[in-house]
Each structure stands twice: as C-alpha cells, then as structure tokens.
Amino acid sequence: MRTGLFILLAVLLTRVSVSAQEIKPISSSIDDYIALLNHNGFQAYSFDLSPLKDTTYRVVFEKREYVLGNPEPIQTEFLGRGFKTRTLVKDFMWRELSEEELSDLKADAVDFENGVYSLANKITVGFLPCPNDSTEVGRFIIENQGAYGFSLNLKPIELNGLYGNNVIYRYRPVPFKASTFQTDKFIPLVTYASFWFDETHKVIRFCGEKELDPELTAEILKNTPHYYILGVTFNKVE
C-alpha cells in the first residue's frame, strides 16, 4: 500500500516538474525586434538635443576618414547645411497666409504661441544593411527636420596570407561619450572602425571600449587600421 502511494506521488511530481518546464509562447517585445534588426545590419545611435531647444542652430553633418598612424583625417566630407534644429513660425510668414493656411499652421506647430513650428530633440546616426561587402550605407537623421544619406568605402583586413586568397571586410560602429557643446566645433558622434588581424594570436579581433572619448585616445583607435568618424557641427542662426 505504502509502495503504491510512493509510486503515485512520484508520478504526480514528475508531471508537475515537466509541466513547469514547458516552453510557452509569449508576446515579442520591442527589444526582440531591436535585436532582430541589429542581427540583420540595422544599427542606430541617438543623441539628445533637448538642451538646445531655445536657440536655432544650422546643422552640418560630417564624415572624416582615418588610417592607422595618421592622427589627421585623410579625407573629409560635409553633408548638407540645409537643416536646422528648429523651424520657426515666422519662417512661413514671407507672404500673407489665408485663414485656412494659418489654421493649419497653428494645428501643426509644436508651440505656436512661442513661435516654434517644428523642433529636433535628437539626432540619430543609423546604419543600414548593404549587399556590397566593401560599402556601408547609413543616414544622419535630425528629428522632425530631415535626413542625409552617406556611404563609407571599406578596406579589406590585411591577413598576411593566413586565409589564402580570402578577402574579409568587417567593421563595427562604436558611439562616443558625451561632448561639451560648442558652436562651430566638430562634435564626434559615432566611429565606424575596421577589425584588425592580431599577428601574435593569428585571429581577427575588435576589442576595447564600448564608448569612445571625444579626444580620440581610445585603444580601439590605436589598433584599427581604417576608420571613419561621423559627427556634427552646430552653427548658430542669427
């Protein structure tokens, strides 16, 4: 009798244990979608502009290309001067507006009473999947104001013959730490840097800081053979 009771109890405990270990479906979260996008070549890094909300600045995006051993960029490209951190209601008043147009303007403005039509509270540097291994593409996005596309020409890693005739391109974006705001000064936002071949251990590697200092003293930048720095300059609008 007691033996049978023990057997029954063991069966019940086994069923409870198995039931507790079920893999049940759950709803996917936004973090799951972000991870999926990251694994498929989408990366985004955003930076807060809200402290600038009371002044209008013209935004100049810039990409600088570097190679190991040269502290100065070997090439610099400016990407547009057309976007501002905010658009004012008065920008639409170059002619007299009809009542309907004025009503639409009031409805669309973020702060009509204080004369602000649209406002950028952040800048995003985004990277997109590209079918060409030797090219990366992306966007500078200034919230509510617009975007500029950019492309980066990549260089293969020097493998010293270890992998035969294989050509390998592999890069990684790394954001910069917060920079003190100054007008008319280049502010680095994200670097896009190549992996490198470690001659000692015979491996391709990319290790170092998860955020870079604006002074460009990071160990990553002392090892990567080729990299870009993507950043912005703010010019005050009188």
Round to the nearest angstrom and report the end-to-end CA distance of the chain.
95
Q: What digits encode the pLDDT tens for the residues 121-130? A: 999 999 999 8
Instruction: Note the pLDDT tens digit of each residue in 96-128.
Output: 888 898 899 889 999 999 999 999 999 999 999
Is the distance from CB of 103 to CB of 89 less than 8 angstroms?
A: no
Beta bridge partners of 35: none
Q: Which residues touch 97 (CB under 8 Å, ≥6 apart)?
A: 105
CB 209 within 8 Å of CB 219:
yes
Query: Which residue from 155, 148, 193 is spatially nearest to 172, judged by alpha carbons?
Result: 193
Sole residue written with tokens 């609008």: 237
| Radius of gyration in angstroms for the set of CA atoms belonging to the chain, rounded to a whole number | 26
What predicted TM-score, i.e. pTM, was given to this entire model? 0.85
- Residue ranges of the domains in the chain? 47-85+120-236
